[in-house]
Amino acid sequence: DVKVTQSSRYLVKRTGEKVFLECVQDMDHENMFWYRQDPGLGLRLIYFSYDVKMKEKGDIPEGYSVSREKKERFSLILESASTNQTSMYLCASSFLVGSNQPQHFGDGTRLSIL
Partner 1 sequence: DAKTTQPNSMESNEEEPVHLPCNHSTISGTDYIHWYRQLPSQGPEYVIHGLTSNVNNRMASLAIAEDRKSSTLILHRATLRDAAVYYCIPGVNAGNMLTFGGGTRLMVKP
HSE of 78 in the Cβ direction (CA atoms, 13 Å)? 24
Size of the site for partner 1 (CB under 8 A): 25
**25 with 104: CB under 8 angstroms?**
yes
Q: Is position 24 an interface residue for partner 1 (rule: CB under 8 A)? A: no
Residue in 45, 60, 71, 77 binding partner 1, rule: CB under 8 A:
45
Q: Are 32 and 91 a contacting pair, CB within 8 Å?
A: yes
Residues near partner 1, by CB under 8 A: 4, 31, 33, 42-43, 45, 48, 50, 56, 58, 90-92, 94, 96, 99-108
